Amino acid sequence: MDITVANGFRRVHETLFIIRILATVMKTYLIEDTGDSAIIGFKDANLTLITPVMKALYDDDNVEMVRYVDKHPELDDRTLYVKVKKGKALDAVKKASKAVVDYYEI
């Protein structure tokens, strides 16, 4: 096996390991779901996981707005607001999350 390919596999494996560890620490919960918009809350939020999902949401043509709200970290949980043009906002979040998982999956 080429050394470059081996190093690439190692980096992907290390990244997946880190993501699994971070995912066990961060807790998510649904604050509001109106159909075309949703607000998701994060306890012990980690931008390493949230940022790729936000990028996938930005890339979705059906998503009208994505907003990450970060108030005082000791007083309020961080939230993600998603609004879609048509359909359900939670479906867009699930689609974006699956796209991120598929990207990093070996």
Show pLDDT as tens, one digit a residue, over the chain (106 residues): 445 444 555 665 555 555 555 555 678 889 999 999 999 998 888 788 889 889 999 999 999 999 999 888 777 889 999 999 999 999 999 899 888 888 877 5
Give the whole-angstrom CA distance, residue 71 versus residue 78: 7
| Domains defined along the chain, listed by start | 3-104 (3.30.1360.10)
Residue 26 has a pLDDT of: 77
Is the overall model pTM greater than 0.85, yes or no? no
The β-bridge partners of 65 are 83
Q: Which amino acid is at 59?
A: D
Give the whole-angstrom CA distance, residue 57 versus residue 36: 14
Q: What are the structure tokens assigned to 46, written together?
A: 């980690």
Residue 14 has a pLDDT of: 58
